[in-house]
Copies of this chain bind each other. A is one copy, B any other.
Amino acid sequence: MSSTWVVVEKRPRLKKPVLVEGLPGVGLVGRLAAEQLVNELDAKPFAVMHSSHFPPQVIVDEDAEISMFENTFYYWKNKKGKNDLVILMGDHQGLSVESHYEVSKEAVDLAHKLGVKTIYTLGGFRTGKIVKNPRVFGAVTDSRMRRTLEKHGVVFAGGPQFIAGAAGLMLGLGKLKGMRGACLMGETHGAYADPHSAEYVLKILTEVLKIKISYQGLEEMAKEIDKELERIRKAQKKQEEELRRMHESALKDRMSYFR
């Protein structure tokens, strides 16, 4: 089997589509911004990404219904502006080194088929500080994008550094297919989910894309997420115990190899 794969329900026809990525990362900034965008625009899901690198378990919700770890592609038709949107929002980037490449490559391949020429990846930039007006840092595939984003207040810090995971690799792999792109990183503490930072990132993104939406939801989301994270943390702790026990014999075998 292919280890990461995308199931496309119905491929939408899109006008000059721009891809926005918001997978889980530092401070959940990218994910939160993407979620608000999907909700406010009422974007429609059309494709789902699965991977055998995602955790080998399903999630059981309050109604005892199960769902898989998955990343979802949404589209939005822009009736007033010139760019339709494709939004990638999801649960995971995978448990192995290689899965980050796979997740990014599958996303970029689909974007390429849909005619995407520009990619924005959203993320957090850890500073360890709590600030009132978080800055938004940027990295780009070419200098033209930098000049555009600087006009909107994006900060471009000097010196070599790295961007980990899909937020970086989707730009790199996209460039190989002739797409240009930018990563927008909201300043964030790093130790907790930060919808406030997400709001600042989203404000710049929507300005650049000339889209008008409300940002109110992010504050409420922040509170809900805080509660849910607490519940998930408890459930996950229990689940870890489970996994550890369930694999007891498997572990013993494997350990005799690698220890």
On whether the beta carbons of B254 and A95 are closer than 8 Å, the reply is: yes
On whether the beta carbons of B157 and A235 are closer than 8 Å, the reply is: no
Q: Is A224 close to B, CB under 8 A?
A: no
Query: Contacts A52-B98, A56-B100, A246-B26; is A66 near B161 (CB within 8 Å)?
Result: no
On whether the beta carbons of A254 and B258 are closer than 8 Å, the reply is: yes
Copies of this chain, complex-wide, total: 4
Main secondary structure, interface of A, reads mixed
Q: Which of A13-21, A74-82, A167-175 contacts B (4 or more CB under 8 A)?
A: A167-175
On whether the beta carbons of A243 and B231 are closer than 8 Å, the reply is: no
How far, in Å, is A232 (CB) from chain B's closest CB? 6
Find residues 122-148 in chain A having any chain B CB closer than 8 Å to their own CB: 126, 138-143, 146
Q: Complex: how many Å from CA A66 to CA B244?
A: 29
On whether the beta carbons of A235 and B163 are closer than 8 Å, the reply is: no
Category for how many chain A residues contact B: 35 or more
On whether the beta carbons of B257 and A62 are closer than 8 Å, the reply is: no
Q: Is A239 close to B, CB under 8 A?
A: yes
On whether the beta carbons of A98 and B53 are closer than 8 Å, the reply is: yes
On whether the beta carbons of A172 and B142 are closer than 8 Å, the reply is: no
Q: Is A151 close to B, CB under 8 A?
A: no
Q: Complex: how many Å from CA A171 to CA B40?
A: 32
Contact of A58 among B53, B92, B162 (CB under 8 A): B162
Find residues 237-255 in chain A having any chain B CB closer than 8 Å to their own CB: 238-247, 249-254
What would 13 more interface pairs be, CB under 8 Å, given A66-B141, A162-B236? Answer: A1-B101, A59-B160, A60-B163, A65-B139, A66-B172, A95-B254, A160-B228, A160-B232, A164-B239, A236-B249, A244-B256, A247-B256, A247-B257
